[in-house]
Amino acid sequence: MSQKTILVIDDSATIRRLVDNTLSPEGYRVILAPNAEEGLEQARTVKPDMILLDHQLPGTTGFDVCEQLLTIPEVQHTPVVVSSTLRKKAYVEYADSPNVVDMLPKPYTEDLLITTVENALDTGSLIVQSQADGTAVPEVINALEEADFAGTFNSFSLREVLDFVNNSTKSGVLEVQAGAARIWFYVDEGRIQAVTGTGIDSKEIAQSLPASLRDIAPVLNLTVGGKLCSEVDGLVELLDRKVLDPRLLRQVLRHQAAMLVWKCFHSELKGFRFETGRMPSPLFRKLPLDSSLAALTVEAAVHCPAHELAEENSSTHYSRRAIRGQNLDRAGLSAQHLKVLNGVSEPITAANLATQLGMDPDETRRVLQGLSRADLIDRKSVGQVPQVVVLEGNADWARSLRLGAQQYSEQFNLKIVRDQLAVRLLLKRSRPDVLILPLEADGEITFAAQAQQELAAKDADVRIVGVLSSTDDRDTPRHTPVACDAYLTRHYSAEQCLKAVEQAMSDEPVTQVAESHESPSLATCAS
């Protein structure tokens, strides 16, 4: 039976966690949205099998959302269950809504939630209920406990959070919100024992399975979400009866964990929460991975599509890192992969290391990139022109700057990105020499300060060039959180950009702002 997708639109974080923690173990793929706007966008994107909709939402109501869903062809026939504390009063409002098939009064128990979802999926759009008058009551019975450790990824990397949990040898689950997906890392005594998730298409993981495991790829339909259903119980029973080879199944679970970890490194990470004592389903307890983050990132890099790897050339070198406070556990790395790690005591290219070790060059490159993801080694261009990344949201000005930089291609390599998310993803995959960031708005200053803190925490030698509206802005108090190696002002030319890069790379004190003598309009520059 294919996995059913449930979209939950509710502004209560407690309700969203309750529904997620109740339905995910039952085998459902759960997508969460905190407001109507995100909910409608997710509905268009994921095309859920059912929508659980809160009646009272910020700035609107569930009734208005139902009306908008009817205008979206992909979901106009999708059954909707409305949840409300208003009970009968809300029921009347939805009596004539053709896509509302049931009502779920708050507060509700987990059993009632499961039963309501099952009925809605079974009956679809055949049910329309209406009732009259009621009163408001508390939303949740037996509300979930607060997380023992929670936060965002604005100041912490995934590696740092996992290091903290594993170094303290805690047992429990780390929940990570990666884009629209939720990924759970089950840890015990400093090791990763299982990785599961919701909002994940198991086919994506199956595509990268080694040939030796493809015959049992359908197992991923059951294991990706960490289900507690009869089919998974059947797998456990087959293991107990020695009908199913535990070695093959453990390899599938390890591959699943590796690819889910890889997804984290290629997604926008929003937040995390750690709960002590929470255990995975019986199947994962029976076949624990007992692995390290480094082993999983290497496995993912070895099997991932080539386009997901960072670009390399003859000047790309790798070297060993020495990081204070890092968890250096290498459990799960093969003897061959440990040789790769031990072979980078001095900067070396992937091709030269492959020759030294007698390994396949492509495998060596992939292992090195996996170790780089785990922050065990550094990846840097050596003996090459500076690699410069510019954050520029204006398409016309970006095009003008790119054209102007072509004449200086022998002095620096310029890459222009359009938004902050692109910068974050790029910094996960590579380390530029210089980062040019705007410091004209409060949000830009905050982002630049966070980026600088994160790079410093990783001992990454990336120089920062700040872009100001005018020279007078340089010493204003609000810019003090960002320590720049050089400055530029709008609208700077490619030549001035090169001078700022040279100043930033020179280690000389910042003495002046690279300032344009002419301030042409954007239209003039673009032309």
CB neighbour burial string for 391-425, b if at least 16 within 10 angstroms, e if fewer: bbeeeebbebbeebbeebeeebbbebbeebeebbe
Domain at 387-526: CATH code: 3.40.50.2300
pLDDT for res 456? 87
Handedness of CA 305, 311, 314, 317 (dihedral sign): negative
Token pair belonging to 319: 């070297």
- Are the C-beta atoms of residues 327 and 162 closer than 8 Å to each other? yes
The average pLDDT across 66-90 equals 84
Token pair belonging to 518: 């002419």
Tokens 């070695």 belong to 247
Domain at 302-381: CATH code: 1.10.10.10
One-letter amino acid of 302: V
Which range has the worst mean pLDDT, 38-42, 180-184, 519-523?
519-523
Task: Decide if pLDDT at 138 tops 70.
Answer: no
Distance CA 131, CA 261 (A): 47
CB neighbour burial string for 253-274, b if at least 16 within 10 angstroms, e if fewer: bbbbbbbbbbbbbebebeebbb
Label residue 136 by pLDDT band (50, 70, 90): very low
The percentage of the chain sitting over the pLDDT mark of 90, rounded to a whole number, equals: 35
Specify the DSSP class assigned to residue 116. H
Specify the DSSP class assigned to residue 108. B
Specify the DSSP class assigned to residue 351. H
Q: Collapsing DSSP states into helix, strand and coil, what is residue 319? A: strand
Residues with Cβ within 8 Å of 252's Cβ and at least 6 positions away in sequence, in order, are 209, 213, 216, 217, 219, 220, 223
Break the chain into its structural domains and give their ranges.
Answer: 5-126, 149-291, 302-381, 387-526
Token pair belonging to 59: 């700035």
Q: Collapsing DSSP states into helix, strand and coil, what is residue 329? A: coil
Distance CA 278, CA 175 (A): 11
The average pLDDT across 361-386 equals 86
- pLDDT tens digit sequence for 193-212: 999 988 888 888 998 999 99
Tokens 């250096």 belong to 328
pLDDT for res 87? 61
pTM of the model: 0.56
Q: Hey, which of 27-31, 247-251, 326-330, 364-368 has the most confident mean pLDDT?
A: 364-368
* Same topology between domain 5-126 and domain 387-526: yes
The average pLDDT across 162-167 equals 83
- Are the C-beta atoms of residues 49 and 27 closer than 8 Å to each other? no
pLDDT for res 425? 87
Task: Decide if pLDDT at 383 tops 70.
Answer: no
Label residue 133 by pLDDT band (50, 70, 90): very low
Label residue 1 by pLDDT band (50, 70, 90): very low
- pLDDT tens digit sequence for 456-477: 888 888 999 999 987 666 555 5
Angle of CA points 504, 505, 507, to nearest 5°? 80
Helix H or strand E segment including 8: strand 5-9
> Radius of gyration of the chain from Cα atoms?
26
pLDDT for res 329? 65
- Are the C-beta atoms of residues 325 and 163 closer than 8 Å to each other? yes
The average pLDDT across 305-318 equals 86
pLDDT for res 132? 30
Label residue 510 by pLDDT band (50, 70, 90): low
Closest by CA to 273, choosing from 174, 195, 167, 166, is 174
Task: Decide if pLDDT at 292 tops 80.
Answer: yes
Label residue 391 by pLDDT band (50, 70, 90): very high
Distance CA 301, CA 318 (A): 16
Q: Is domain 5-126 classified as CATH 3.40.50.2300? A: yes
Task: Decide if pLDDT at 126 tops 70.
Answer: no
